[in-house]
Amino acid sequence: REIIFRDVVDSTNTLAKQVAADGAPEGTVIVAEQQNGGKGRLDRHFFSPAGKGIWFSVILRPPFLPQEAPKCTLLAAVAVAMGMERFGLKAGIKWPNDILYENKKLVGILTEMSAEMDGINYVVIGTGINVNIMAEDFPEELRATATSLSIMNGGKPLPRVKFFQAVLEAMDELYDAVKREGFAPVMAAWRRYSITLGQEVRVIGVRDGDVFTGRAADIDEDGALLVDTPSGRRRVLAGDVSIRP
């Protein structure tokens, strides 16, 4: 497979979209030591300091419909969770795709896509893993909400390259399984790692800005979150979910 490595980029997702538009094959990986303009969901900035994390994007050209693309994000979260398990770290996924430890973010995923009505041109799955960032390395405004694998690991650094290999292997295995038998096994694995299901949650809808609370009951076959509220079950396809303490 082709791996494009850069010391510094604006965003690996932006570079991945460029090379994908230029015809890069499925499976191409873009990885950088540092991002100056790391992008998060909902137009947020993603802190991506040099040498301390794994900031990467994978190009896929999946043979399914654009509606199915959000499930690729679930796949990426499960792959990172499986990688963590191989290093003895227990992962909890918050819907749809944040990996948290003690309610702070370890991993963020941003999926971008180019598609027509009848098919996907490419999907870029961008994953940022906070590996060897110490608490004092985080800017003040992130300290309450961000953490890292090394903090989780009792202050011991993790081997970044080995960890990255484990995650890419898990992604390959899961994606091959999806092409053979669909998303059901990925969804089942996602449910096992989920820390959202069964919890009381507060949802801010992305499309309508609507805010409501309820109990996260399950995900459906599209990966949408099903929330039971006093006025009935609501389906959340895109939104910001917080678990209520």
- Nearer residue to ligand BTN within complex by CB, 40 or 185: 40
- Count of residues interacting with ligand BTN (CB under 6 A): 21
Q: What is the 3-state secondary structure (H, E, C) of 48-66?
A: CCCCCEEEEEEEECCCCCH
Question: Residue 96, preceding bond cis, omega within 30 degrees?
Answer: yes
121 is in an annotated binding site: no
User: What is the DSSP pairing of strand 3-9 with strand 29-35?
Assistant: parallel
Among positions 4, 12, 74, 201, the unique one binding ligand BTN when judged by CB under 6 A:
12
Residue nearest to ligand BTN (CB): 108
Nearest to ligand BTN of 70, 126 (CB atom): 126
Beta bridge partners of 175: none
Considering beta carbons, is residue 11 or 132 the nearer one to ligand BTN?
11
Q: What is the footprint of ligand BTN within residues 156-215 (CB under 6 A)?
A: none
Site map 91..130 versus ligand BTN, x via CB under 6 A: -------x---------xxx---------------xxx--
Beta strands at 53-60 and 92-94: parallel, antiparallel or unpaired: unpaired
Min CB(68)–ligand BTN separation in Å: 20
- In angstroms, the CA 212 to CA 190 distance is 24
Near ligand BTN by CB under 6 A: residue from 39, 71, 94, 234: 39
Q: Closest approach of Cβ 230 to ligand BTN, in Å? A: 30
Min separation Cβ 229 and ligand BTN, Å: 25
Neighbours of 237 (CB within 10 A): 15
Q: Does residue number 6 form part of the binding site for ligand BTN (CB under 6 A)?
A: no
Q: Does 57 participate in binding ligand BTN (rule CB under 6 A)?
A: yes
By the 8 A CB rule, do 236 and 224 touch?
A: yes
DSSP code per residue over 182-241: -SHHHHHHHHHHBSSTTSEEEEEETTT--EEEEEEEEE-TTSPEEEEETTEEEEESSEEE
Distance CA 94, CA 197 (A): 9
Give the annotated binding-site residues.
Answer: 11-13, 35, 105
User: Footprint of ligand BTN on this chain (CB under 6 A)?
Assistant: 11-13, 35, 38-41, 44, 46, 48, 55-57, 98, 108-110, 126-128
